[in-house]
Structure 1
Amino acid sequence: MLRLRLLTWDVKDTLLRLRLPVGESYAAEARAHGVRVQPEALTRSFREAYGAQSRRFPNYGQGWGLSSQQWWVDVVKQTFRLSGVQEDRVLTLMAENLYRDYCSAGNWEVLPGAGETLSRCCQRGFRMGVVSNFDNRLEKILSQCNLLHHFEFVLTSEEVGFAKPDKRIFEKALRLSGVPPQLAAHVGDDYTRDYRAARAVGMHGFLLQATRQGTEPEVPPDHILPTLGHLLTLIEKG
C-alpha cells in the first residue's frame, strides 16, 4: 500500500467538465441578442482566440496588468469577431454575460464517480487540495457543484502566479499542507501538466485516461486511472 497523506487534484476534465461545447453555449448567448452564429464556427474561433491570447498573455494575463475577467472578456469578444459579429455594444454584453455564466453549475457538471471518490478519500483520512490552471472563479464553481467542502485549499494558477507544469505551484501545495512530496500524489488528466509535473517535484502521480486511446510510454499501468473509481484500489495496491 502507498503511504500517502495528501492528494492534490486537477479540476477541468478530471473532476468537472463543461456541460456543452463552448460553441453551443456561445451560440445560445448570441441568439438571446438576436445574433445567429453557427456553433461550429464559434468553436473554431474560440480555439483561435484562446490560443492567441494564451500565447500573448499567459496564465490569464498575470504579470501583464490584466485581470482574468478582462482576459476572458477579450477572448470572448475576439471569438465572436472572428465569427463575423462586429457590433461593440453586443460584443461587450455577450462577453460579460458569458464570463458570469461560466461561474455557475449551470455550465459545469461533475464527472461520473468524482463526488463519490472524493468522499471515500476523505473518509480514508487523506488530506486534499486542488492544483489547477484556472482563474479565480474556481472556488465558486466548486462550491456550486458541491465539491468545495472536500478540500483544505484551492490553488489556481491565477492566484499563485505560476501555471502547471511549473513546479512552483506544486511546491506551494506541499508547503501549504506541510506534507513531504513522497507522501503526496497528484491526480489529473494531462500527461505533461499533471502527471509529469507532479513527478518532477517528487510526488506520486495518477493519470486519468478515461477518454484517451493509448498511453504515454513512461506511465506504468498502475499509475493510470481508467476511471476515478480506480484510484483507491491503485493506492492500496501500490
Structure 2
Amino acid sequence: MRLQVVLLDALGTLLELEPPAPHLCAELAARGTVISEAEAAAALRAEIAYYRAHHDKAVDGAALAKLRDRCTAVLAGALPEHARDTPDLRGALLASLRFRPYPEVPEVLGALRAAGLRLVVVSNWDVSLHEALARTGLTPLLDGAISSAEAGAAKPAPAIFARALALAGDIAPGAAVHVGDDAALDVAGACAAGIAPVLVLRDGAVSPDGIPTLRDLRALPELLTTYPQGR
C-alpha cells in the first residue's frame, strides 16, 4: 500500500517548550514579585503535572478557560507565600509557556508536502493545540491537527489515530506512518492502530529494537523514501 499520510506528534517532535522558569520569573518581576528560578521551576512542575492530568477536559474555549483558572490556582499554591497574590498571575503563567518549532521542522514539513504526503498532527493536548500550531507558524505546512481533547481519546488509544486518518481523507492505516517521541504513547499507539511508527529520540536514548529511530527530523524525508510513495 502506498504511503499517503504522515501523522506527527506535537510536543517533543515538532515543538519544544522554552524553559519556562526564567520566563515566569520575568513575568512576575514585571508585576512586582521577585522569586528565584528554583522556586519558579518547582511551582511550574506542580502546574504542569496538574495540566497533564486534566487537559483532555478542555474540549472547547469555555472548558479551556476553566482549566487555565485551575492551573493558575495550582501554580499559586506552589509558589512562595509572598508571590501568591501577584496581580494577573494567570497572565504571567500563560506568558511563561512559550513553544517554538525545532529548527529543522519547517523545512522538513515543506519537503514532505512537496513529496505529495498529507501531514496531520496527533497530540495529547487541549483544544488550544490549533492555537499553538498557528502561533509557531506551522499551520500552513499541515493538512490538519487533532488533539486528544477533541478526539475524546488520548494516545496510545487507537481511536485518536482513527480520527486523524479520517481527517486526512479516510486514509487506511497501512498507508500511514506516525512520527513521535514517546515509545509508550506514540510507538505503542501507532502499532495498536495498525500504523507504522517512527520514533524521534532527541536526547540520544537507546531505541527499542526494530523501531526506525531518528535523532531529529532532518532524515525523515529520506527514511520515508523506503516506503512506497504516491500522491
**TM-score higher than 0.5 here?**
yes
| CA-to-aligned-CA distance 1:167-212 (integer Å, 9 cap, x gap) | 2111111122211000001111111111210111001111111223
Summarize the Cα distance change of 1:37–1:89 in structure 2 as closer, same or farther, 3 Å threshold: closer
Q: Using the alignment, how far apart are the partners of 2:199 and 2:137 within structure 1? A: 23
CA separation of 1:43 and 1:178: change in aligned 2, threshold 3 A = same
Measured in 1, the distance between the counterparts of 2:63 and 2:91 equals: 13
Does 2:171 correspond to 1:179?
yes
Cα distance between partner residues in 1 of 2:17 and 2:83: 28
Residues 1:27 and 1:88: Cα distance change in structure 2 (over 3 Å): closer
Question: Equivalent residues in 2 for 1:14-25 (5 A)?
Answer: 14-19=13-18, 21-25=19-23
| Corresponding residue SS for 2:25 | helix
CA distance in 2, matches of 1:141, 1:59: 14
Structure 2 CA distance for aligned equivalents of residues 138 and 199 of structure 1: 24
Aligned pairs, how many? 224
Letter in structure 1 aligned against 2:221: L
1:237 is matched with 226
| Aligned alpha-carbon RMSD (Å) | 2.3
Identity among equivalent positions (%) equals 24
SS of the aligned residue for 2:121 comes to: strand
User: Structure 1, unaligned stretches of length 5 or more?
Assistant: none
| Structure 2 residues not aligned, in runs of 5+ | none
Equivalent positions of 1:70-219 (< 5 A) are: 70-85=66-81, 90=86, 93-99=88-94, 102=97, 107-176=98-167, 177-217=169-209, 219=210
Work out the CA distance in 1 between the residues paired with 2:72 and 2:94.
8
Q: Aligned letter for 2:67?
A: W
The code of the aligned residue for 2:4 comes to: R
Partner of 1:31: 29
Runs of 4+ off more than 3 Å: 52-55, 85-89
Give the TM-score of the pair, scaled to structure 1: 0.84
The change in CA–CA distance for 1:41 and 1:31 in structure 2 (over 3 A counts) is: same
Instruction: Check conservation: 1:46, 1:76, Cα contact below 8 A.
Output: no
Whole-angstrom distance in 2 between the partners of 1:98 and 1:83: 12
